[in-house]
Structure 1
Amino acid sequence: MTADADRNLTRDHFDHVVRVTTRWSDNDMYGHLNNAVYYELFDSAINGWLVTGAEFDVMASPELGVVAESGCRFFRELEYPRPLDVAVRVERLGRSSITYSLGLFDAQSAELAALGHWVHVYIDRDSRASVPMPATVRELLEQAVAAR
């Protein structure tokens, strides 16, 4: 996609959307959300979806989903106090990896504020070797892709 096309993404282009609220401490010295907060929101939206949707126990599972790659393009500022929508889309399902696209929206606007890119790779908790993603995770994400 081009940058212009990316800016036109809406919540409907994503598989899962969660509403969050910003906190006072999320603002930086310039009065808008600190860039690191965007990544925290993305991480929470993905893992919350996997924990609730796939009933994936991240603390006890023999597999760990680790972030192998991430990035974010910022289109407009967000600030406290604001409810936000964090949207998650499965872009690619591999044997042991998932590539996500993430949208961040002001809950009061249809305009995309930021577009994130995130890659999870599943590894064995002990050996740290790459392993296939857990079956419950794959099932949830395949259902999301099929529902489009």
Structure 2
Amino acid sequence: MTADGDRALTRGHFDHVVRATTRWSDNDMYGHLNNAVYYELFDSAINGWLITGAGVDVMALPELGVVAESGCRFFRELEYPHALDVGVRVERLGRSSITYALGLFAADAEEVAALGHWVHVYIDRTSRSSVPIPAAVRELLERAVEDRG
């Protein structure tokens, strides 16, 4: 998408949306969420979806989903004490990697406040070599893409 198109994203553009709450310690000295908090919210939304949606224990899988790339574009300030919604969308599903788009929304707003991207690459827990995406994870993400039509 273009920068203008990114700003037009709504919750409806995402495959999975989860509610998150902010904490007092999430604010920085300027009174808005610290940039690192955005990444924590993205990580929690992705892994929570994989755990509950695919029914896997990501800590017990023989494969590890490691973050190979991440980034975030900030459009609007967010702050404590407000609930937020985090949207997760599968952008690309490869053999061993997944690219996600992540939208962060104030709970009472339709406009995206931040747009992140995240690339998980699956590796063998022991050898650290690239491996295919675990079957249960792939099934969940393929269903999400199919449901989007």
Measured in 1, the distance between the counterparts of 2:60 and 2:76 equals 38
Partner of 2:95: 95
Partner of 2:67: 67
Partner of 2:112: 112
Partner of 2:24: 24
Q: What is the DSSP-based 3-state SS (H/G/I as helix, E as strand, rest coil) of the residue aligned with 2:105?
A: strand
Alignment of 1:1-148 (within 5 A): 1-148=1-148
Deviation, structure 1 residue 117: 0.4
Regions of 4+ moved over 3 Å? none
- How many residue pairs are counted as aligned between the two chains? 148
Gaps of 5+ in 2: none
* Equivalent AA in structure 1 for residue 73 of structure 2: R
Measured in 1, the distance between the counterparts of 2:51 and 2:115 equals 23
Q: What is the DSSP-based 3-state SS (H/G/I as helix, E as strand, rest coil) of the residue aligned with 1:112?
A: coil
Deviation, structure 1 residue 82: 0.3
Q: TM-score, normalised by structure 1?
A: 0.99
Q: Indicate the RMSD between aligned Cα atoms, in angstroms.
A: 0.4
* Equivalent AA in structure 2 for residue 44 of structure 1: S
